[in-house]
Chains A and B, each alone.
Chain A
Amino acid sequence: MTSSSASTTLSVTVRLFAAYAEAVGRSSVEISLPDGATVGELLAEFRRRVPTAAALPERPLCAVNLTHVLSSHPLRNNDEVAILPPLAGG
């Protein structure tokens, strides 16, 4: 991220569920990021901002706006990003 692009920012809501909500002690956190940030960059910023997020695995499952995504997925303003513990339905 260059300093020129860092002048514009986007804001996303990070949601945590089940074991991850318990481990981090939060179920929702607002995070501001430079324009063009990816899910992977959000996770790094989330770890800097929320110390208890160190309990999460390096590459957790993530979803943006209710759809599974890769860590390279680019974020947009007001996206809802979910960090998902190992799925256990069925």
Chain B
Amino acid sequence: MAYLSERALDLSDLVRQVQSSERGGIASFLGVVRAHHQGRAVLRLDYSAYHEMAEAECARVVAEAETRWPVRVALQHRIGTLEVGEVAVVVVAAGAHRDEAFAACRHVIEELKRRVPIWKREYFADGQVDWVGAADAGQGPA
């Protein structure tokens, strides 16, 4: 299954991908579109990606987690226009016990935010439209 999706994400779909009779601990994280950003009312978000690299980087993040912990990981990120309350990202990690499930789930969402080339444009209630992160003028590693 592709890591990027233009359709609504379904937590139970991802749980089914990693569930098994040997995995007694399943941890999940959902990222949901918030109604406010830095005190301003948000109407909707528009997610875009460098598709080929985002798919490759998600695969690397998942493989790393599955190497570091005895887990199976499912991951999907939504692309396109999302309204407030819609799910933008889902991570599910399943292991024999909860410790590795929580650790892997946390690792995957943090690495996704740090490494996967996805961008979002916020549409505010006051009519303004901004690229998220544009104000911090992206500084790459030297």
Contact = CB atoms under 8 A, between A and B. Distances in A.
Interface of A: 15, 17-19, 57-63, 66-68, 70-71, 82, 84-90
* SS class, residues of chain B in contact with chain A: mixed
Interface residues of B, number: 35
A86 B115 contact: no
Contacts of B89: 89-90
Contacts of B140: 57, 59-62, 71, 84
Given A18-B119, A63-B117, A86 B138 contact: yes
Contacts of A60: 138-140
Interface in B113-142: 113-121, 131-134, 136-142
A38 to B, nearest CB: 12
Nearest to A63: B53
B106 to A, nearest CB: 12
Given A17-B117, A66-B53, A68-B57, 5 more contacts: A18-B119, A59-B139, A87-B113, A89-B116, A90-B31
Interface string B29-64: 001000000000000000111101110110000000
B139 A18 contact: no
